[in-house]
Amino acid sequence: MDEAREWIAANLTGIRTELLRSGALMLRGLPVATAEDFAAARDLLMPTRASYKEKATPRTDFGAGVFSSTDLPAVQPIRLHNENSYTLDFPGTLLFGCLIAPTAGGATAVGDMRAALAKLPADLRDRFAAHGWLLVRNYSEMAGLPWHTSFATDDKAVTEAYCRDHTIGYQWVDEDSFRTGQVRSAIITHPVTGEQVWFNHVAFWNQWTLDPDVREVLIDTYGADGLPFNTYLGDGTALTEDEVATLNRVYDEVTVRESWQVGDLMLVDNILNAHGRDAFEGDRKIVVAMGDPIPLADCAPTAAPAAMAFGE
């Protein structure tokens, strides 16, 4: 890795400049074979680490701030999203690395959120600009992640304090089931480039994005208010199936992908580009690290953060 570190250090300015232009950048041909090699490259490319808050998907922790990209089943594609778009600060940069390439599929797809914002119908874009988006989560052992996993504590008082400190409404549904609601801006401005982007999980976690059979089973089992995730306009207005289809169509239109090869590194500007994962076959080991944390307040949100008010 010594030559790789020297190459990265010598080209770091150009790499970061290109990242701000394109939003995503793949480095191919470096001898990155282990999580330790990846961490060494990470320390040069983005030395300031960002934490993974309000966890939503299972990941393996390899130590030193290196995680699996996700541990969801290979047959399940992951739609484009901006990492931690629902938190009050989030990673500005993501670094992915390929330690084992899949035999088919499995690309970490990316999409330019500047282009996505421009493609949205004006009326829909204006409604989100004015009201932001609302995320409602239900934490349980049966569906999604339990609250103590997402908030990394077994102490209910600590979880409640986190929610109050981070502008999240909350409600204990029963002894061990927890519900939260938070309004966030759907459109923000990159603090360096000054470009507005579409930045959220609105389509990603909306009920209409679910496979119809899965949606039916979840609603039959947990009720319409008990889904692990659901999203709305920030004023609580439900989104129609057609509106969510429009959002997902825009994501599809801006998506690009490159097949992984062992040793590849991919930098993603988490504001300029969303990312996802294609379904795959064979073994696949993609590691990720998060860095360059950015406060939402530095990104000119068009809608102010708010906590959802739950009835008693």
Would you state the pLDDT for residue 176?
83
Q: What's the CATH number where 174 sits?
A: 3.60.130.10
- Spell out the residues 6+ positions from residue 242 whose beta carbon is closer than 8 angstroms to its own: none
166 lies in some domain: yes
- At 202 the three-state DSSP class reads coil
109 lies in some domain: no
Q: Say whether pLDDT at 19 is over 60.
A: yes
Cα–Cα dist 250/193, whole Å = 22
151 lies in some domain: yes
Structural domain harbouring 285: 2-71+91-103+261-294
Same domain, 121 and 242: yes
**Contact 254/116 with Cβ under 8 angstroms?**
yes
Same domain, 241 and 130: yes
79 lies in some domain: no
Same domain, 287 and 223: no
Report, as an integer, the average pLDDT of 228-252.
97
Same domain, 124 and 234: yes
Same domain, 153 and 272: no
What phi, psi does 297 have (nearest 5°)?
-60, -20
Same domain, 134 and 209: yes
312 lies in some domain: no
Would you state the pLDDT for residue 84?
96
Same domain, 240 and 278: no
The domain tally of the chain equals 2
* CA nearest to 12, candidates 29, 31, 25: 25
15 lies in some domain: yes
Same domain, 200 and 281: no
pTM of the model: 0.95
pLDDT tens profile 105-139: 999 999 999 999 999 999 999 999 999 999 999 99
Same domain, 178 and 280: no
What angle (nearest 5°) sits at the alpha carbon of residue 207, between those of residues 203 and 209?
50
Same domain, 211 and 272: no
77 lies in some domain: no
Same domain, 195 and 273: no
Same domain, 53 and 125: no
108 lies in some domain: no
Percent of the chain with pLDDT over 70: 99
